[in-house]
Amino acid sequence: MRTNLIQSYVNGTPIAQQYNSDKAVKDFDVHKELANRTFIKPLPSNGKLLKPSLFDMPSVVANDLIYDWNAFRHAVKGEANDHELGRLNDVGMKVGGLAIASYLFTKKQTPMTKAFEFIGLASFFGAMDLWPKLFLQLPAYLVHGFNIRQKYEDNYGRKKLVFQDHQFIPWDLYSDKEINKIGDRLRVPKDIPNRREFIQEKMRKIALQNNTMWMLTAGFATPIMSALICNALEKPVASYLDRKNNEKAERLLTNFPQEISKFDFSKEEAALKTFLAENEGKSITPELVDNIHAHLSDGIDYVTATGIRKDLDDLLPVGKYRFSNETLNAVRDVLKESFAGVQLTEEELAKILPDNNAMLRAFTDNGLMRSEAKEFSEHSKLVQNLVFDNIERFVEENPGNPNARRLRFIMNQMVHSNVHGEDSKLVKAFKFEPVSVLTKELSENLGNISKILNDFKAKNLVLDRYAYIKVAQAPETILANSWNEISESLLKVMNFTPEEIRQARYDREIAGEVLRNKLEGITADKASYSKFVTEMEKLLSTLQSKAAALDVSSDESSLYSSLVNKSTFDESAKALRNAHMENTAESLVGYGFTSRTSLKDVQLSFVADRLKGVKSSFYRILNMADMYYKIAHVEGLDSVLTNTMPREVKEEVVELAKETLLEGHTSDFAVKFYQKRNPNPDKFDCSQIESVAGKVKNKYFGTHQSSELMELSNDSGFFESVMKLMYENNLHPDTYEKIKSSVILEDFMNYRKNVLDFLGCDSYYPKPAHLVNGKVVDSSSELKFLLMGCSPDEMFLKLFRQKSNSNKWFKTFGRLGAGLIGVTLLSQFFIGHMKKPQPSKEVK
């Protein structure tokens, strides 16, 4: 500890007397000096201003952590000081924040939402720190020339803000040179008295005003800034997580053997083994088969589990029972149990219950006597009749017996019980001694089957996980991310104004109209269209590349396809067939490996269908843009809008095609479209349509009252023309030029052809002739639904709503934030004003 000279002096100088330094100045008389009170002043400070560079940050952080740890140790012992306790309060706040983020992390389901719990926390603390640095400290430095949040380290290594307490500012840490430099920057005249004091006062004032501004603005700024930081980080984080997720999914397949080995079924296998060992040599009962089935089908889907049950029923025949004295004893036990509630003596009971011989005789008389039997309802009835007769006889012989009524009641209850047939106790008693037994060979075979099924389950779980990450209908899958990315980019590339977005959010009618106007505007201008198609091609190519790993068109088309087909389903099915589990194998791969209703097909088509639905939605927009472009420039339409087609019909075809691509659903195709048309168009005007600014300049369409129009269900060519205009007609050369070398070309052209075939050639009984090229093609509702995808007006309605919501938020809080920044920055020019003292006049 340093010697405190003042303390020594005040306390009567005993310590000072011991003061004897080798470094003392020659002739320095400490007593004389201490006696001179005006000389007394504090020892020079060991404190220093802190000016760490960016490179010092790691060591600063490390030192702060060490300081906090020591502060904690001191506080636990009750020896910490105010500064240490203040630091620990900040640590507590951060620990609490981490606790909140960690708890909410566990409540969230997806990586993105989980990550944002911590990003939100970090951004909040970051904003708390950044706001004063960026919007007070920096501008103040630029305007006034000094750091209002300058930190210093005192004698004890405590870091504090210089201007934290305005009545105790450690001015001695600033040299005269530094203060004068700041004074020059503050334009303080050089020739004033007490210049340093004046500069210090000005600095104090500026710092105080800034600190006050900090307190007044931080409450608004921190949450808003934090929200904006999170918003800005959303895309990069999403993109990073998408990449990581994709890599994770790919690793599942590339390391397939290692991944499946992570699933450990040894416990389940051991449990089955123990169970089989316990029951080895015992009769095969339905309960035993139920138990074995429960072991084998745990975690298996219902269809396959049913297949397993069928196979087990064949492997473990149940149903035939031996007929022996033990069986009859069991039957008698059940009967005894039934009459347990009646107070009967042994003799009386013997009269009522038929003995084994009586029963055997009765079975023989009625032709029911066999050494083995499968079904016992007749036996049960016969026994009941015997008992009934015995009771009647007993009652006749003992008319005064108090149990008579009770016996009859129990008998009636037994006969009329609602548990009949195989479930009745009596019938179960007959099934006392099954014929078949669980042999060692059977046990071994079942153990082998369990291994095959567990291997299959492990493989299937890995494949399921892969399919889930890639294409599941859930947030943050690779496909969902692609959907969001493409649809948001479309909104951006189509350049909707905030006003259009605000208007379009109300319903799909308005959204469709806004979208149509925008698309007509884009297609009217060749440059805009070129940019639009280029962007779409880029987005769809990315999707196509991502989807390549999911191609399931053939066994070898992708790693996923190969692993599903060969390594998992076919291999397991083969092994199961060798183990005589034919039904189970069939439910996995279908009859002869070809059925479309197998579990394998579900595994493959789940992925293929999800992809098809998403791709169709975007291909539909590209196709729509191409058709709108052709119409806007009246190019490439002649094969459909021929010179023999009346102009009015052409206008009707074009309008319907435009509307159908924009908002059509599969039902519109199924009914072969419905449009009210003019039944008497001008047949002599077969001129081509005209377009202005992307819109058709209708000469006839829309000129008739609705009451004059009707649906012409006999015009079988109308549907075909509309379909061909939408899907059969060649792409416009400008569109083709942009995608001709793209990876999507073939897929896109196939899509157009499939829609034309499957939606255009669907037979509709009220309009049987309304077919494209006269063909009838069978298809499923599911396929038609997937080919249609999402209608653009509905897709954009959702996007408009989302965008409108974010716009509204940004408008409100962006303005508030901008206003706050403006006020805070401008305030620098209004603070620190002081009346300048007059320069000192030279005294003559």
Partner 1 sequence: MILPIRNFSEKNLSFQSKPNKGEEANVAYDKDTLLENTFANRTRIGLDKLTKAFTIYPAKGLKGSKNSNFYEFLTMGNVPYIIGSVTLMSIFNSVNSDFFPDAKSKASKLGNKMAMGVILYCVFKELAKSFITLPVKWKTGIDTELPYAKVNYLLQESPDDYNLTSIEYHKVGESVDFPRWDQLYGDPKKGEKLNFRYDKIAEKNGLGKDLNDSDQEVKPMYKEVLVKSKLAKSFTSFMWAATGVALAFQKPWENYFNVATLKFWKPKEFGHSLKVLGKSFVDSIKELYKGSPDSFSKLERHSGKALIGASVLVTLLGILNTLHITKKPSNVKGSDVMDKNKESVVS
Please give the Cα distance from 659 to 653 (Å, whole number): 10
Q: Which is nearer to partner 1, 113 or 716 (CB)?
A: 113
Q: Which is nearer to partner 1, 64 or 197 (CB)?
A: 197
Task: Tell me the DSSP string of 480-545.
Answer: HHHHHHHHHHHHHHTT--HHHHHHHTS-HHHHHHHHHHHHHHHHHSHHHHHHHHHHHHHHHHHHHH
Least distance to partner 1 from the beta carbon of 806, Å? 10
The DSSP call for residue 143 is H
Residue 522: count other Cβ atoms within 10 Å of its Cβ.
23
Q: Which is nearer to partner 1, 223 or 447 (CB)?
A: 223
Least distance to partner 1 from the beta carbon of 38, Å? 14
Please give the Cα distance from 236 to 112 (Å, whole number): 11
Q: Which is nearer to partner 1, 202 or 724 (CB)?
A: 202
Least distance to partner 1 from the beta carbon of 790, Å? 17
Least distance to partner 1 from the beta carbon of 206, Å? 8
Least distance to partner 1 from the beta carbon of 110, Å? 13
Task: Tell me the DSSP string of 636-657.
Answer: S-TTTS-TTS-HHHHHHHHHHH
Amino acid identity, position 270: A
Structure tokens at 755: 């829609």
Residue 128: count other Cβ atoms within 10 Å of its Cβ.
16
Structure tokens at 140: 């103040």
Which residues lie near partner 1 (CB under 8 A)? 72, 74-82, 85, 88-89, 91-93, 95-97, 99-100, 102-104, 106-107, 164-168, 197, 201, 204-206, 208-209, 211-213, 215-216, 218-220, 222-224, 227, 505, 801-802, 805, 808-809, 812-813, 831-832
Structure tokens at 425: 């106790």
Please state the separation of Cα 35 from the chain's center in Å. Answer: 80
Q: Which is nearer to partner 1, 206 or 645 (CB)?
A: 206
The closest of 662, 600, 267, 330 to 459, measured between CA atoms, is 600
Please give the Cα distance from 60 to 53 (Å, whole number): 10
Least distance to partner 1 from the beta carbon of 512, Å? 17
Query: Do residues 607 and 471 make contact, with C-beta atoms less than 8 angstroms apart?
Result: yes
Q: Which is nearer to partner 1, 127 or 539 (CB)?
A: 127
Please state the separation of Cα 742 from the chain's center in Å. Answer: 31
Q: Which is nearer to partner 1, 220 or 394 (CB)?
A: 220
Q: Is 691 helix (H, G, I), strand (E, B) or coil?
A: strand
Give Cα separations from 484 to 45, 256, 487, 501, 519 (angstroms): 61, 30, 5, 17, 20
> E strands, 693-808, where?
695-696, 710-711
Q: Which is nearer to partner 1, 650 or 803 (CB)?
A: 803
Q: Which is nearer to partner 1, 130 or 435 (CB)?
A: 130
Task: Tell me the DSSP string of 580-615.
Answer: T-HHHHHHHH-GGG--TTSHHHHHHHHHHHHHHHHH
Least distance to partner 1 from the beta carbon of 729, Å? 38
Q: Which is nearer to partner 1, 670 or 823 (CB)?
A: 823
Q: Is 46 helix (H, G, I), strand (E, B) or coil?
A: coil
Please give the Cα distance from 457 to 467 (Å, whole number): 15
Least distance to partner 1 from the beta carbon of 217, Å? 8
The closest of 733, 727, 714 to 758, measured between CA atoms, is 727
Please give the Cα distance from 559 to 565 (Å, whole number): 10
Please give the Cα distance from 3 to 449 (Å, whole number): 87
Contacts of 709 (CB under 8 A, 6+ apart): 676, 677, 678, 679
Q: Is 59 helix (H, G, I), strand (E, B) or coil?
A: helix
In sequence order, the β-bridge partners of residue 161 are: 151
Block residue for tokens 């080798």: 22
Least distance to partner 1 from the beta carbon of 617, Å? 20
Least distance to partner 1 from the beta carbon of 413, Å? 43
Least distance to partner 1 from the beta carbon of 809, Å? 5
Q: Which is nearer to partner 1, 208 or 461 (CB)?
A: 208
H-helix segments, 671-744: 716-723, 733-739
Residue 127: count other Cβ atoms within 10 Å of its Cβ.
21
Structure tokens at 465: 């996980």
Q: Which is nearer to partner 1, 166 or 282 (CB)?
A: 166
Give Cα separations from 690 to 41, 90, 553, 662, 683 (angstroms): 98, 72, 44, 21, 18
Length of the chain: 844
Least distance to partner 1 from the beta carbon of 166, Å? 5
Least distance to partner 1 from the beta carbon of 837, Å? 12
Q: Is 297 helix (H, G, I), strand (E, B) or coil?
A: coil
Least distance to partner 1 from the beta carbon of 702, Å? 32
Least distance to partner 1 from the beta carbon of 519, Å? 24
Structure tokens at 158: 């405590």
Least distance to partner 1 from the beta carbon of 463, Å? 21
Q: Which is nearer to partner 1, 201 or 708 (CB)?
A: 201
Least distance to partner 1 from the beta carbon of 82, Å? 5
Query: Do residues 187 and 97 make contact, with C-beta atoms less than 8 angstroms apart?
Result: no
Please give the Cα distance from 137 to 554 (Å, whole number): 65
Query: Do residues 214 and 136 make contact, with C-beta atoms less than 8 angstroms apart?
Result: yes
Q: Which is nearer to partner 1, 91 or 712 (CB)?
A: 91
Please give the Cα distance from 488 to 806 (Å, whole number): 13
Least distance to partner 1 from the beta carbon of 810, Å? 10
The angle, 0 to 180 degrees and rounded to 10, between the axes of the packed helices 195-254 and 478-493 is 120
